[in-house]
Amino acid sequence: MATNNNRPISPHLQAYKLPLTGIISITHRMTGVLLSIGLVAFVYIVSAVAGGANDYADMKAFMNVWIIKLIYWGFVYALFFHLCHGVRHLIWDTGRSFETKTLNSYALIELVASVTLTLATLV
């Protein structure tokens, strides 16, 4: 059977400029993976609380090292980004808001909302 090599191909990531929705979409996936890894840290933290006052003090000192704190802030932002875009996925699941205009305006809303929620949590 003759094969047609000239068929349409999906956009290549290095040649195709992703629209805002596309950037947010892959960020949703990346934040999901990073948050999953962060859950390991949660087990460490809650185990330290269960371990008693000494373990707790050690954990607290470690979590207050500036670089760890910075990672935690990133974790909180990733959480709220994932939450906000997750809400949009739930809206999409009802079959609504697929128009180009709403795609972009919702994208801005969720970016602003995720930053606001992060600042409200950390400041």
- Least distance between other proteins and beta carbon 45 (Å): 5
Q: Examine residue 49 and tell whether it contacts other proteins (CB under 8 A).
A: yes
Least distance (Å) between residue 50 CB and other proteins:
4
Site string for other proteins, 82-121 (x = CB under 8 A): -x--xx-xx--x---------------------------x
3-state secondary structure the chain: CCCCCCCCCCCCCCCCCCCHHHHHHHHHHHHHHHHHHHHHHHHHHHHHHHCCHHHHHHHHHHHCCHHHHHHHHHHHHHHHHHHHHHHHHHHHHCCCCCCHHHHHHHHHHHHHHHHHHHHHHHC
Give contact residues for other proteins (rule: CB under 8 A).
29, 32-33, 35-36, 39-40, 42-43, 45-50, 52-53, 56-57, 59-60, 63-64, 72, 76, 79, 83, 86-87, 89-90, 93, 121
